[in-house]
C-alpha cells in the first residue's frame, strides 16, 4: 500500500483510470445479466453505457475498414513514395555526399578530392576510377547524382606548367615532360593529333583526356 502512494502523478492517474474502467465493466456485466428497469437507472449512467457501446462498435468498424484496405492493396501496406532530389556531382560538397546511402565521410572526402584534381566529372563512369573494387555501381550513382559536362575545368595545355600538369590524374611526370618538351621545340599544340604526337599516349588515355584539353589558351 505504501508503494501505491509513492507513485508519481502519471502513474497515479493511470491506476485510478484502470480502476474506474474495471468498475464500469463489472457494472456493465451486472446490468447485462440482471437488467434493471430503465426508470430506476440515472440518465447520466444510461448515457455512459451507451457511449461505451458506441465506442466498441466504432473500434470494430475501424478494424474492418483497415483490413479491407490491406486486402485491396494486395495484402501489404502501401509504402510512402517520395522524390529523390539529385545532387550535382561536380558541385556538391562532402556534407551533402555523406548523406547518400553507401557514402560516409571517408568516401565523400575521397570523391571530392579526386573530382577537384580532375577538374570535375565528364561522365558517370569515371566514378570507377575512384572506387575500383567497391560496390558503387553506375545505376546507383545515377539515382542520386547528375553530371553537367559543361562544368568541368579544362587544362590549358599550351600554358599550364609542368608542376601543375603532373598533378592531374590523367598525367604523370613523363607525360607532363613530353608536353613541355613539344611546346619548347615545336610550338603550340593545336589539336588532339598534335597532342597524340607529343605524348605518344595510348588511345585509351587519349579518349579519357580529350574532354579536358583546351587548345585555345
| pLDDT tens profile 11-32 | 677 777 778 778 777 766 666 5
Model confidence at 180: pLDDT above 80: yes
Indicate whether 47 belongs to any domain: yes
The reply to whether 77 falls in a domain is no
Does residue 78 belong to any structural domain of this protein?
no
Tell me the residue range of the domain where 93 lies: 87-151
Angle, helices 192-199 vs 173-186, to 10°: value is: 110
Would 162 be classed as within a structural domain?
yes
- Which tens digits make up the pLDDT trace of 186-217? 999 999 999 999 999 999 999 999 999 999 98
Residues 108 and 159 both lie in one domain: no
Q: Which of 186, 183, 150, 192 is nearest to 165 (CA)?
A: 183
Q: Same structural domain for residues 65 and 9?
A: yes
Beta strand pairing status for 213-214 and 155-156?
parallel
Q: Using 50, 70 and 90 to split pLDDT, how confident is the model at 136? A: confident
127-131 average pLDDT score: 88
Number of domains in the chain: 3
d(CA 99, CA 94): 9
Last residue within a domain, chosen from 23, 41, 72: 72
The pLDDT value given to residue 75: 53
Predicted confidence at residue 194, as pLDDT, reads 95
Euclidean distance between CA atoms 122 and 150, whole angstroms = 8
Q: How far is CA 191 from the centre of its chain?
A: 42
- pLDDT for 45 equals 54
* Percent of the chain predicted with pLDDT > 70: 68
145 and 161 inside one domain = no
DSSP track, 133-146: SSS--HHHHHHHEE
pLDDT-wise least confident of 16-20, 63-67, 130-134, 135-139: 63-67
78: pLDDT confidence band, cut at 50, 70 and 90? low
**Residue that terminates a domain, selected from 46, 72, 98:** 72
Q: Among 106, 121, 151, where does a domain finish?
A: 151
Output the pLDDT for position 25: 72
Which of the four pLDDT bands, split at 50, 70 and 90, describes residue 125? very high
- Do 103 and 160 belong to one domain? no
Domain match, 8 and 63 both: yes
The reply to whether 199 falls in a domain is: yes
Q: Which band of pLDDT confidence, cut at 50, 70 and 90, is reported for residue 2?
A: very low
* Same domain membership, residue 93 and residue 62: no
Task: Please check the confidence at residue 79 and state whether its pLDDT lies above 70.
Answer: no
Examine the domain organization and report whether 169 and 129 are in the same domain. Answer: no
Q: Are residues 175 and 198 in the same domain?
A: yes
- Are residues 183 and 161 located together in one domain of the fold? yes
The answer to whether residue 79 is domain-embedded is no
82 found inside a domain: no
Q: Is 81 inside any structural domain?
A: no
Closest by Cα among 193, 165, 167, 164 to 179:
165
Amino acid at each position: 500500500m505504501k508503494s501505491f502512494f509513492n507513485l508519481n502523478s502519471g502513474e497515479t492517474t493511470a491506476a485510478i483510470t484502470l480502476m474506474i474502467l474495471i468498475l464500469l465493466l463489472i457494472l456493465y456485466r451486472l446490468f447485462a445479466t440482471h437488467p434493471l428497469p430503465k426508470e430506476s437507472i440515472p440518465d447520466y449512467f444510461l448515457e455512459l453505457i451507451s457511449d461505451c457501446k458506441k465506442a466498441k462498435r466504432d473500434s470494430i468498424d475501424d478494424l474492418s475498414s483497415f483490413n479491407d484496405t490491406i486486402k485491396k492493396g494486395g495484402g501489404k501496406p502501401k509504402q510512402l513514395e517520395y522524390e529523390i532530389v539529385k545532387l550535382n556531382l561536380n558541385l556538391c560538397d562532402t556534407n551533402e555526399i555523406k548523406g547518400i546511402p553507401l557514402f560516409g565521410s571517408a568516401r565523400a572526402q575521397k570523391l571530392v578530392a579526386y573530382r577537384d584534381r580532375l577538374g570535375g566529372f565528364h561522365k558517370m563512369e569515371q566514378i570507377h576510377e575512384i572506387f575500383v573494387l567497391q560496390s558503387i555501381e553506375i545505376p546507383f550513382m545515377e539515382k542520386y547524382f547528375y553530371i553537367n559536362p559543361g562544368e568541368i575545368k579544362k587544362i590549358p595545355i599550351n600554358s599550364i606548367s609542368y608542376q601543375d600538369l603532373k598533378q592531374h590524374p590523367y598525367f604523370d611526370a613523363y607525360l607532363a615532360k613530353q608536353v613541355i618538351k613539344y611546346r619548347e621545340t615545336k610550338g603550340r599544340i593545336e589539336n588532339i593529333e598534335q597532342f597524340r604526337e607529343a605524348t605518344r599516349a595510348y588511345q585509351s588515355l587519349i579518349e579519357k583526356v580529350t574532354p579536358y584539353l583546351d587548345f585555345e589558351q
